[in-house]
């Protein structure tokens, strides 16, 4: 008499792989931000350059170049924030027409069929990821605006800076970059999640691929070596 292993309940593999993706996202974020004190990464390297930049800013009276750099940075972040809102709106529209979306998916040979509850969870998770990204980008924009105010409050080059406003501007700029980095990281993992519509295990592969890309770009890239003067 033979016995077979019990089959997984319908949808459980989909939920497990989604949880794996989210756990990797949180875990990599903690690893990346906490390990910067032990080994150089892009955030730590740019934090140093940002302090040098603000020191140079405090030493000149004409600060148009500094405000121009901030303006271009805010413009780029605003594009990501606007795109996040569009993505969330599109996902909610799909959620409202889920039967039609599933009918289209059934006509595609490479899309794995799944219960409607699984589809709802996938779309809600995606909407949550890009909503999180929007809030991070919006907060980053506000922080960069605060950097601009601190630059405006910095005394002229001929005067002392007893309050350390230049150092404050560098610190707030680093926090703004951290918020922006978290938003970009959400995009990376958010773009991996749609692979679960093809197969849940493909999401595992896509998640590991994203982690590898992020680690290489933050810790092992040629850009980092160039910033550190080793390239």
The two three-digit tokens of residue 154, written as one number: 């910095």
- Structure confidence at residue 160 (pLDDT): 80
- Structure confidence at residue 5 (pLDDT): 43
Q: Kindly provide the residue ranges of all beta strands, DSSP E only, lying in 74-231, ordered along the sequence.
A: none
What does the DSSP 8-state code read for residue 111?
Answer: S
pTM, two decimal places: 0.91
What does the DSSP 8-state code read for residue 80?
Answer: H
- Structure confidence at residue 26 (pLDDT): 98
Q: Angle at which helices 116-153 and 12-34 pack, to 10 degrees? A: 20
Which residues in the chain show pLDDT less than 50?
1-3, 5
Domains of the chain by residue range: 14-31+40-227
- End-to-end Cα separation, the chain, in angstroms: 66
Other CB atoms within a 10 A radius of the CB of residue 152 amount to: 11
User: If you count them, how many residues does the chain have?
Assistant: 231
Residue 67 main-chain phi, psi, to 5 deg: -70, -30
Cα-Cα-Cα-Cα torsion 103, 107, 108, 113, nearest 10 degrees, comes to 50
- Structure confidence at residue 133 (pLDDT): 98
């Amino acid at each position: 008499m033979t016995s077979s292993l019990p089959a997984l309940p319908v949808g459980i593999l989909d939920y497990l792989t989604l949880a794996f993706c989210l756990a990797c996202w949180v875990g990599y974020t903690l690893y990346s931000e906490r390990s910067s004190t032990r080994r150089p990464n892009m955030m730590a390297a740019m934090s140093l350059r940002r302090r040098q930049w603000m020191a140079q800013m405090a030493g000149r009276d004409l600060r148009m170049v500094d405000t121009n750099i901030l303006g271009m940075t805010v413009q780029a972040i605003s594009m990501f924030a606007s795109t996040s809102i569009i993505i969330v709106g599109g996902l909610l529209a799909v959620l409202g027409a889920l039967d039609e979306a599933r009918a289209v998916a059934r006509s595609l040979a490479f899309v794995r069929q799944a219960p409607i509850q699984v589809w709802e969870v996938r779309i809600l998770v995606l909407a949550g990821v890009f909503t999180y990204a929007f809030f991070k980008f919006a907060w980053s924009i506000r922080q960069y605006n605060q950097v601009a105010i601190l630059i405006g409050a910095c005394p002229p080059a001929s005067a002392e800076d007893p309050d350390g406003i230049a150092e404050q501007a560098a610190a707030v700029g680093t926090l703004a970059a951290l918020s922006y980095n978290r938003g970009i990281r959400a995009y990376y993992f958010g773009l991996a999640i749609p692979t679960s519509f093809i197969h849940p295990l493909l999401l595992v592969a896509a998640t590991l691929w994203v982690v590898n890309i992020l680690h290489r770009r933050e810790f092992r890239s040629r850009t980092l070596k160039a910033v550190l003067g080793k390239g």
